[in-house]
Amino acid sequence: MLGREAALVLLDKALGYSKAQETDIYLNAQDLGLSRFAGGTIHQNVAHGNVVLNVRSVVGKRLGRATTNDLSDSGIKKAVESAHQNALLMPEDSSFIGLPPPSDAVTVESWDEATAFCSPETRAKIVHGVCLQGKGHDLNVSGACRTGVQEIAVVSSHGTRAYHAGTFAGLIINTMSDDSAGWAKGGGWRLADMDTEALGREAVGKAVDGRKPMAIEPGRYPVVLDTYAVDDILEALSLYGMGAQAVQEGRSWMNDIIGDRAMSPNVTIWDDGSATQGWPVPFDAEGMPRRRVDVITAGVINTPVHNSYTAGKDGLVSTGHQAYFTGAPIASNLFMQEGDSSLQGLIGSTERGIYITRFFYTRLAHSKGCVMTGMTRDGTFMIENGQITHPVKDLRFTQSYVDALAGVELVGRESKLVLNEVGFATRVPALKLANFNFTGVTV
């Protein structure tokens, strides 16, 4: 870990080498501890650290970039000069209005000492407990437990100076028998907030209950989605259309429905980079504060998120959603409003439908409506007369996620944080949907 003073000193030195009209430099550093396990034992335990400098140089309406993890004086000078030379080679972009001005410093609490300095022995105890649960049911248990520190910092020739350090922890569990599988995932910025024993019970229980699955006919069914499946929906909606660049280019599911009630009134979704109930990061890769954006309110589609480039095209101010050094703006700390139903209440209200733990290998089929194709996995069960009656073989689907959320009938009262990777998180409840389109049965 660099720490605030060392990180900013390093960036100030890099900035001093620049001869461009405008320059900003984004530092992304990570110290990761990772324990992978399979067959009930840890097979890989690694520690990894890396610091990357990302340089943007501006010459008129031209923008150049360069990236390096060579932090020697010569390595930094080479990256800064390369960014400048790349800018000179680029065509002018009439929509580019320059690098953003500095904003007031923003801080958020997302540091936990115990998580930052978690030992391999602590991760091994977590893994051991999970594997023991699976051993008692003759299951093959695999997965990964990770802990670490993420640092970001931004300085610019306009006077931006921002630094943030946060911790992260995550646990993924896969359980398998000869004919069934279970899965669970937890994460956040504080290891102690993860109930690792409960995650183990969840993954083991799905595999045990999922033995001897039965095939059912494809078609449209009411569904109860566990939080992992809901997470997949929000992640897809984010990646395929919550960013302003996709909207401006006409390839977002939001196109033509902004201002409309296109989803159920039970659906409210927002992005808030400062909310500690998620995985908070107070500013983006441009040093802009990550403002709360109410993307969907009571089913009404409101607005996408912006970086400085897309905001400039629309005459707006960046909402602070340049998540990475390159690429479009992304809503990456998403929340869905909880309802007032228990999970058993969602199931109990369903006369005949399907309970789904999670989706797998989902891919975009069409941007309009955010039509996705994929399959269920790791715990799919039949619901009859308000009760889970038996496991079913996994199903393939092709379904508009916008239409799916238009059919939200009930929302769970408890939400779960799903940390997909460092920098992308959702906190979501379980849902009951009126129908979901299944097109086939997996082999």
Q: Which token pair is 184?
A: 């669970």
**Residue that terminates a domain, selected from 158, 190, 206:** 206
Cβ neighbourhood burial of 305 (10 Å; 0-12, 13-18, 19+): buried
* Same-domain pairing of 96 and 129: yes
pLDDT at 218: 97
**Could you tell me how far CA 182 lies from the centroid of its own chain?**
21
Rounded to a whole number of angstroms, the distance between the first and last alpha carbons of the chain is: 47
C-alpha 245/C-alpha 323 separation (Å) is: 13
> Do both 271 and 401 map to the same domain?
yes
Number of Cβ atoms within 10 Å of the Cβ of 380: 25
Same domain, 90 and 183: yes
In one-letter notation, the amino acid at residue 100 is P
Rounded Cα–Cα distance for residues 14 and 8 (Å): 10
10-residue mean pLDDT series, the chain (443 residues): 96 97 97 96 95 98 98 98 98 96 88 97 97 96 97 97 96 97 96 96 98 97 98 97 98 98 98 94 96 98 98 97 95 97 97 98 97 98 98 98 98 94 88 97 82
How many whole angstroms separate alpha carbon 360 and alpha carbon 358? Answer: 7
Same domain, residue pair 139 and 241: no
- Whether 112 and 250 share a structural domain: no
Shared-domain flag, residues 265 and 321: yes
Sign of CA dihedral 191, 195, 200, 203: negative
If asked whether residues 118 and 245 sit together in one domain, one would say no
Structural domain for 334, as ranges = 213-441
- 220/301 same-domain check: yes
Task: Tell me which residue of 216, 226, 235 sits closest to 379, measured CA to CA.
Answer: 226
Is 101 within 8 Å of 158 (Cβ atoms)? Answer: yes
CA 294 to chain centre: 17
Q: Where are the beta strands (DSSP E) in 13-100?
A: 22-38, 41-59, 62-68
pLDDT for the residue numbered 215 = 96
C-alpha distances (whole Å) from 212 to each of 91, 180, 208, 355, 427 are 61, 7, 10, 16, 32
Q: Are residues 127 and 274 in the same domain?
A: no
Same domain, residue pair 11 and 77:
yes
* H-state helical runs in 336-382: 343-348
Following CA atoms 393, 373, 143, 201 in sequence, which dihedral angle do they give, to the nearest 10 degrees?
-50
Tell me 57's DSSP state.
E
DSSP string, 210-246: TSS-B----EEEEEEE-HHHHHHHHHHHIIIIIBHHH
- Residue 331 shares a structural domain with residue 192: no
What is the CATH classification number for the domain harbouring 175? 3.30.2290.10
Q: Which of 206, 228, 251 is the last residue of a domain?
A: 206
**Dist. CA 428–CA 415, nearest whole Å:** 5
Say whether both 43 and 15 belong to one domain.
Answer: yes
Among 175, 206, 237, the domain-final residue is 206
**How many folded domains does the chain comprise?**
2
Q: What is the largest CA-CA distance in the chain?
A: 71
d(CA 154, CA 82): 19
What is the pLDDT, as a whole number, of residue 422?
64
